[in-house]
Amino acid sequence: MSPGKPREKSAPELLQDIRVQRVLATVDSIPRGRVASYGQVAEEAGLPRAARFVGSTLRRFVNHSGVPWHRVLGSDGTIRVAGGTARDQAQLLRAEGVAVKNGRVRLEDCGWDPED
């Protein structure tokens, strides 16, 4: 850790933040076989214009079972994580019946509507 740079919080520490709790609750409400964009999750969590916050929050929970992070994509349906995690995300989505082609999901086909 470099001087002046804050230490990155661990997942348990993050859970103290009400904004993180709201993001995780929103992501947890996305049903199997459905996906949402980072921006949509931010809006539904009451955090408008906080798509990047959603992404940085979910990145810290990728290795924690129970958080369906893989159901959250870019606004155009693209997988936005890199490397092996992107492959894992595609595999998890396919296991739920979501069609992934070239790292992208057609939101028109399986986008989440919280009103349903």
Give the tens place of pLDDT for each residue, 14-64: 778 899 999 999 999 999 999 999 999 999 999 999 999 999 999 888 887
Give the tens place of pLDDT for each residue, 97-110: 999 999 999 999 99
What whole-number distance in Å separates Cα of residue 15 and Cα of residue 10? 9
Half-sphere exposure of 25 (CA within 13 A, CB side): 12
Query: Mean of the pLDDT values across residues 80-103?
Result: 93
Which bin fits 86, alpha (ψ -120 to 50), beta or left (φ > 0)?
A: alpha
Which bin fits 51, alpha (ψ -120 to 50), beta or left (φ > 0)?
A: alpha
What whole-number distance in Å separates Cα of residue 81 and Cα of residue 3? 28
**Structural domain boundaries in the chain:** 11-107
Q: Are strands 72-73 and 36-37 parallel, antiparallel or unpaired?
A: parallel
Q: Is the pLDDT of residue 88 over 60?
A: yes
| pTM of the predicted protein model | 0.87
Closest CA to 85 of 70, 73, 104, 107: 70
Specify the CATH class of 11-107 in words.
mainly alpha
Q: Is the pLDDT of residue 10 over 70?
A: no
Residue 2 has what pLDDT?
A: 54
